């Protein structure tokens, strides 16, 4: 049966990037549909009526919502190539824990870094760096979180690298100075075609953030 | 023989999810009741990052976060499966588990606030119930898992038991059964399952425990 895969997405979304990477790792052909979030398509509202958010993966007409669930789904359906989750249940649990940590901490703390200023921003920066350092420890001596090859946590986390320049400019700090091992890991990931083609240019993301700041009236 | 230990607290809905999962699969375990204001060194050692319950320790290895724990349990002990086998159905189940997980904050928000902030919590609570009624429980299913409960039912357990207790503590009725007939049916069905019924924190005990805290919060707000 011909597989029909569609991804409803928005170019700067780190969550959308996760699914892009997973699909590319597996070599799956799909149709990418860019959504205008101020004017959501009827398809998006139909496929994700509960949250009305991107990304939405549509496989043979059936929607899968939530980026980490999409990555796991892609890994299970196209299981014969580039496995992302480990097969050992304990290692799988560890991978899920850290992907959950990225969701709970990185996105929110990073958002606070670019959305706030003064003391609030200083606190956000401190907590953000602490979180990055915690994750950085998990890499250990391995090339990737997943070990010798890109895994679930790598896919969950690397999209945020495309936002690092924006965080650094807004917060006036250097992530590389604080977490050199993390940046080395990120650059290693970026050498993979699946990652390089799925992440937007960091300058472009920064320009987008500046526009958002203007829109929200944040100086 | 593998040793299973569970760190929980007497009223955490997240800890109870794991208790139910282990009992549904017939897995013997040692239960360590944590006094949350005085967490044990062992808990802090096993969950240094979040310092929370529940934590499952299997063969000396800790697993944290209830949804991660439940998926682990389901993979290690496949009897009485808690997730569908089909990848698509499983993705849908995981969607609803995440939805429920993301709404857990409502218990605390409703309990800790009053005035406008509390009204916001009430609005969000009603929106959650509407989504459950209109999207999650369609098709005349007895449970989210179909004819038997599964991980999705366990994830929504706070709606079946804990939210009612918070309503009692705060003195406001939010859930009106006639407005949410499917959710109401599900609550009755869920709470009649023996393993659930026999393993729930006592509602009166919880109310009595939470009421002084609520009074303190309101007093400090009026000062």
Task: Write down all domains in chain A, each with its CATH number in brackets.
Answer: 5-78 (3.40.30.10), 89-216 (1.20.1050.10)
Q: Of residues A3 and B32, which shows the higher confidence score?
A: B32
Contact residues, chain A, for B102 at CB < 8 Å: none
What average pLDDT does chain B have?
94
Cα dihedral B211→B213→B218→B219 (10° resolution): 110
| Cβ neighbours around B90 below 10 Å, total | 18
Cross-chain Cβ contact A76/B87 below 8 Å: yes
Give the predicted TM-score (pTM) of the model: 0.96
CA distance A72 to A93: 13
The shortest CB-CB distance from B71 to any of A50, A96, A101 is to A96
Q: Of residues A84 and B108, which shows the higher confidence score?
A: A84
Q: What is the pLDDT of residue B186?
A: 97
The shortest CB-CB distance from A89 to any of B64, B72, B91 is to B72
Eight-state DSSP code of residue A200: P
Contact residues, chain B, for A96 at CB < 8 Å: 65, 67-68, 71
Mean pLDDT of A49-56: 98
Q: What is the pLDDT of residue B140?
A: 82
Cα A160–Cα A164–Cα A170 angle in degrees, nearest 5: 130
**Which of B87, B102, B152 to mutate against chain A (most A CBs within 10 Å)?**
B87
**What 3-state DSSP class applies to A60?**
coil
Segments of B51-103 assigned E as strands: 55-58, 61-64
CA distance A61 to A47: 9
pLDDT band at B2 (very low <50, low <70, confident <90, very high): low
CA distance B83 to B95: 12
Cα Rg of chain B, angstroms: 18
In terms of CA atoms, which chain A residue is nearest residue B73?
A: A89
3-state secondary structure A125-187: HHHHHHHHHHHHHHHCCCCECCECCCCHHHHHHHHHHHHHHHHHHHHCCCHHHHCHHHHHHHH
Kindly list the structural domains of chain B, giving each domain's residue range(s) and its CATH number in brackets, ordered by start. 4-76 (3.40.30.10), 87-222 (1.20.1050.10)
Q: Over 60: is that where the pLDDT of B89 sits?
A: yes
Closest by Cα among A147, A144, A138, A132 to A180? A132
Q: What is the pLDDT of residue A1?
A: 53
**Quick check: B14 and B63 in contact, CB under 8 A?**
no
Q: Which residues are registered as beta bridge partners of A80?
A: none
**Quick check: B202 and B162 in contact, CB under 8 A?**
no
**Which of B46, B57, B68, B74 to mutate against chain A (most A CBs within 10 Å)?**
B68
In terms of CA atoms, which chain B residue is nearest residue A60?
A: B88
Cross-chain Cβ contact B88/A62 below 8 Å: yes
Q: Over 80: is that where the pLDDT of B1 sits?
A: no
CA distance A15 to A162: 12
């Amino acid at each position: 049966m011909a597989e029909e895969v569609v991804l409803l997405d928005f170019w700067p979304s780190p969550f959308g990037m996760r699914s892009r990477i997973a699909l590319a790792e597996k070599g799956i052909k799909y149709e990418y549909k860019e959504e205008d979030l101020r004017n959501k398509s009827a398809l998006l509202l139909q496929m994700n009526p509960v949250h009305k958010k991107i990304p939405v993966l549509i496989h043979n007409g059936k929607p899968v919502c939530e980026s980490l669930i999409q990555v796991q789904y892609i890994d299970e359906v196209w299981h014969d190539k580039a496995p992302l989750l480990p097969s050992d249940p304990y290692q799988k649990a560890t991978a899920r824990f850290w992907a959950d940590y990225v969701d709970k901490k990185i996105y929110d703390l990073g958002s606070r870094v670019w959305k706030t200023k003064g003391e609030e921003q200083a606190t956000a920066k401190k907590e953000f760096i602490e979180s990055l350092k915690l994750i950085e420890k998990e890499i250990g001596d391995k090339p990737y979180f997943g070990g010798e090859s890109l895994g679930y946590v790598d896919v969950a986390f690397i999209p945020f690298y495309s936002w690092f320049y924006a965080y650094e400019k807004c917060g006036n700090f250097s992530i590389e100075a604080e977490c050199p091992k993390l940046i080395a890991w990120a650059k290693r990931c970026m050498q993979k075609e699946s990652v390089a083609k799925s992440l937007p240019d960091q300058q472009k993301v920064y320009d987008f953030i500046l526009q958002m700041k203007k829109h929200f009236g944040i100086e | 023989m593998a040793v299973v230990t569970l760190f929980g607290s007497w009223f955490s809905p997240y800890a109870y999810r794991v208790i139910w999962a282990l009992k549904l699969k017939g897995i013997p375990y040692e239960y360590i009741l944590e006094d949350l204001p005085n967490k044990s060194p062992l808990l802090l050692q096993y969950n240094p990052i979040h310092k929370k319950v529940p934590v499952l320790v299997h063969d000396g290895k800790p697993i944290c976060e209830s949804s991660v724990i439940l998926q682990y349990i389901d993979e290690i002990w496949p009897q009485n499966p808690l997730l569908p086998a089909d990848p698509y159905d499983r993705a849908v189940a995981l969607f609803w588990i995440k939805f429920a997980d993301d709404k857990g904050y409502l218990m605390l928000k409703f309990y800790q606030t009053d005035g406008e902030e509390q009204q916001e919590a009430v609005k969000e609570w009603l929106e959650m119930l509407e989504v459950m009624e209109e999207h999650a429980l369609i098709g005349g299913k007895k449970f989210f898992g179909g004819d038997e409960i599964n991980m999705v039912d366990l994830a929504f357990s706070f709606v079946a038991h804990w939210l009612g207790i918070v309503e009692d503590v705060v003195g406001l009725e939010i859930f009106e059964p006639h407005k949410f007939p499917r959710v109401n049916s599900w609550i009755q069905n869920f709470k009649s399952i023996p393993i659930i019924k026999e393993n729930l924190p006592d509602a009166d005990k919880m109310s009595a425990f939470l009421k002084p805290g609520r009074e303190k919060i309101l007093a400090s707000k009026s000062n």
